Amino acid sequence: MVRERIEELRRQLELHNFKYYVENAPEISDFEFDAMMRELQELERAHPEFADPNSPSVRVGSDLTAEFQTVKHRYAMLSLGNTYSLDELHEFIARIERETGPTDYVCELKFDGTAISLTYEHGRLLRAVTRGDGVQGDDVTANVRTVRTVPLRLRGTGWPDYFEIRGEILMPYASFDRLNAEREANGEQLFANPRNAAAGTLKQQSSAVVAKRGLDCTLYQLAGDDLPFTTHWESLEKAREWGFKVSDAARICRSAAEIDAFIEHWDTARRELPFPTDGVVIKVDDFAVRRQLGFTAKAPKWAVAYKFKAEQAMTRLDSVSFQVGRTGAVTPVANLEPVLLAGTTVRRATLHNAEQMALLDIRPGDMVYVEKGGEIIPKIIGVDLSQRPADSRPFEYITVCPECGTPLVRYEGEAKHYCPNQGGCRPQIIGRIIHFIRRKALDIEGLGEETVELLYENGLVRNVADLYDLRAEQLAPLPRLGEKSADNIIRSIERSKQVPFQRVLFGLGIRFVGETTAKYLAEHFRSLDAVMKATREELVEADEVGGRIADAIIEYFAEDENLQIIRRLRDAGVQFEAEARELASENLAGRTFVVSGKFSRSRDEMKELIELHGGKNLAAVSGNVDYIVAGENMGPAKLKKAEKLGVKIISEEEFFAMIEGGGPVEKAAQQELF
């Protein structure tokens, strides 16, 4: 009896979910839907033996976290060739028809989100994987199950027992605006555009967070061994019957003129859509013709994406203001007469740097062309000189910091001006602290941007080390806090002492050392002491570290103020060493490797194996390298340099033989591989 009720509730909720989110034709109220969902959740909690990973209850997500596993695509997710010109598009059509004769095309909107591949087995969602590099991507199934327009179980009949369907995870404008409003209120960095927001949301470690962000999903391409269709259009119609959300905008076009008309219509009509689009995709409809045309190494020959031009508007430049970032970089910002552009009112635009302003010869009072290509802050791309006032004078760029009055400097090779007063410039100090507490760094909850400013204004923090001296009784009397918030902040600061070394290194805010670079530095050197002692030559041996980054690291640790902060952070108990690894063996001990090319597993996995068996990874070929593990498509420059230096080159199979305890292979044997 209980099982039957659970199944009935699941069927009803799936039906009403489809009616509401896909067909936009709800049949019951939100109250009735929520009541059924609560009943189902209570029954599932009481009877875990009837659990189903595709139950409608998973739509609310979970707070459990898990790292994303890399999954190899059964069918490669290739990218599309792009064109911005109708002439180039007509050439594409002409090439196809010279080879195949007249054929039909399906024109679809190009959605500006993040690509996804959904796998269905026996009519149920089995797996959801990001595009990744096209060969393999991240398994984000738990997060995608929360997206209401993704069917967990298929409707109708006739679907293949196993197939994949590709599409786009989108963030509608309404969800994007709501999310950024929440992030702004919490003092968090805003997402630049809906595409970035969708991609960032899909990689959240909590599916409960994903469920609240209002993602959408539109599907547009099936993949499988024995699909029961002869045309793409037929496959889209069937996908719609099975419960997938397929765009109603798609059309069959039988000539270049019809394709042009489709593009012209949507170049204007897209402004009324509730989600972002950036072009039109044109695909050959007939699967037999597609097989005849085939693929290049990177893209199908039977499809192309026509990209819309970025939207522009004209308005008056009222004034120029300047912002100072946490690194001291000064960015000029144009303050504009409000103008409607791409569905939003624009009041500011970035001017990038002094060189860009001089190139445009931009001056307050000018009528300027503003372009928005999806970013929060648009850019100025030109000036209407015919409307320039007769008394206009060239703009003189500032020479001192607008915040602290320190003379600005320009570093060699840098376009921006910088304020060098790191220890006394308010926005730099506050910016570094905000960077330090962010989720991807030390993840100190309760300290938003406004709270950090409050602590600064009250003299409680002047650098990140001061955070670890804070006491709850200092925080509680401050506006908008109180005892409970103060206790939560202190507990979060205490928890941050357990944050892994790589995130601490990122949190220090060393110029040019982003999240990925910090990860590679931590893996390579294993401790902050080792990073601090490393020479420039040793630093560039780490992945993603070039000369500019190495110089920035050395400059950072040459500053006495930074060294004092590090000493205090160390005394507070912050992690400055990577966790000790338990070696699987010492079969590669004392040997250094460079991994280059493609392998049966990812390069990160190959490098991980080297370290697990006692070896050391280097980024560049040099005389310090013992072996190059060479996969497919190894770079010719690396190969040439290795041969010149006499570095031994081994295959993937020989590498695994070494791991299993075999000795190094002689160089003469290696050269036979090439």
Domain ranges of the chain: 2-60, 72-307, 311-387, 426-498, 501-572, 592-673
CA-CA distance, 199 to 40, in Å (whole number)? Answer: 31
Q: Is 401 annotated as a binding residue?
A: yes
Residue 1 is encoded by which pair of tokens? 């009896």
Q: Is 30 annotated as a binding residue?
A: yes
Q: Could you tell me which residues come within 8 angstroms of residue 419 by beta carbon, excluding any fewer than 6 positions away?
A: 324, 328, 330, 401, 403, 404, 406, 408, 425, 428
**DSSP-assigned letter for residue 577:** B
CA-CA distance, 145 to 55, in Å (whole number)? Answer: 9
CA-CA distance, 491 to 443, in Å (whole number)? Answer: 12
Residue whose token pair is 């925080």: 475
CATH class of 592-673: alpha beta
CA-CA distance, 174 to 180, in Å (whole number)? Answer: 10
Q: Is 425 annotated as a binding residue?
A: yes
Q: Is 551 annotated as a binding residue?
A: no
Report residues of the chain scoring pLDDT below 70.
20-26, 29-31, 34, 59-67, 184-189, 297, 342-344, 373-377, 619, 662-674
- Please give the pLDDT value at position 673: 29
CA 359, distance to chain mean position in Å, is 32
> Architecture of domain 501-572 in CATH?
Orthogonal Bundle (1.10)
CA-CA distance, 511 to 492, in Å (whole number)? Answer: 26
CA-CA distance, 242 to 260, in Å (whole number)? Answer: 31
Fold of domain 311-387 = OB fold (Dihydrolipoamide Acetyltransferase, E2P) (2.40.50)
* 421: phi then psi, degrees, rounded to nearest 5: -85, 65
**Interhelix angle for 652-659 vs 603-612, to 10°?**
20
Task: Look at residues 443, 439, 411, 242 and name the one whose alpha carbon lies nearest to residue 329.
Answer: 411
Q: Could you tell me which residues come within 8 angstroms of residue 552 by beta carbon, excluding any fewer than 6 positions away?
A: 510, 511, 512, 513
Question: Quick check: 210 and 128 in contact, CB under 8 A?
Answer: no
- Please give the pLDDT value at position 63: 44
**DSSP-assigned letter for residue 62:** -
- Please give the pLDDT value at position 417: 94
- Please give the pLDDT value at position 489: 95
> Architecture of domain 2-60 in CATH?
Orthogonal Bundle (1.10)
Question: Quick check: 645 and 621 in contact, CB under 8 A?
Answer: yes
Residue 302 is encoded by which pair of tokens? 């039977």
Q: Is 396 annotated as a binding residue?
A: no
| Residue type (1 letter), 583 | L
Q: Is 168 annotated as a binding residue?
A: yes
Three-state DSSP class for 260?
helix
Fold of domain 426-498 = DNA polymerase; domain 1 (1.10.150)
- Please give the pLDDT value at position 562: 95
CATH class of 72-307: alpha beta
| Residue type (1 letter), 232 | H
Q: Is 537 annotated as a binding residue?
A: no
Sign of torsion, CA 271 272 277 283?
negative
**DSSP-assigned letter for residue 632:** B
C-alpha pair distances (Å), 157 with each of 52, 148, 238: 21, 21, 9
Burial of 386 (0-12, 13-18, 19+ CB in 10 A): exposed
Where in the sequence numbering do the catalytic residues fall? 110
- Please give the pLDDT value at position 372: 75
CA-CA distance, 240 to 43, in Å (whole number)? Answer: 31
- Start-to-end CA distance of the chain, whole Å, equals 68
Which run of H or of E encompasses 138?
strand 136-138
CA 214, distance to chain mean position in Å, is 18
- Please give the pLDDT value at position 557: 96
Q: Is 593 annotated as a binding residue?
A: no
CA-CA distance, 179 to 197, in Å (whole number)? Answer: 9
Same fold, 426-498 and 501-572: yes
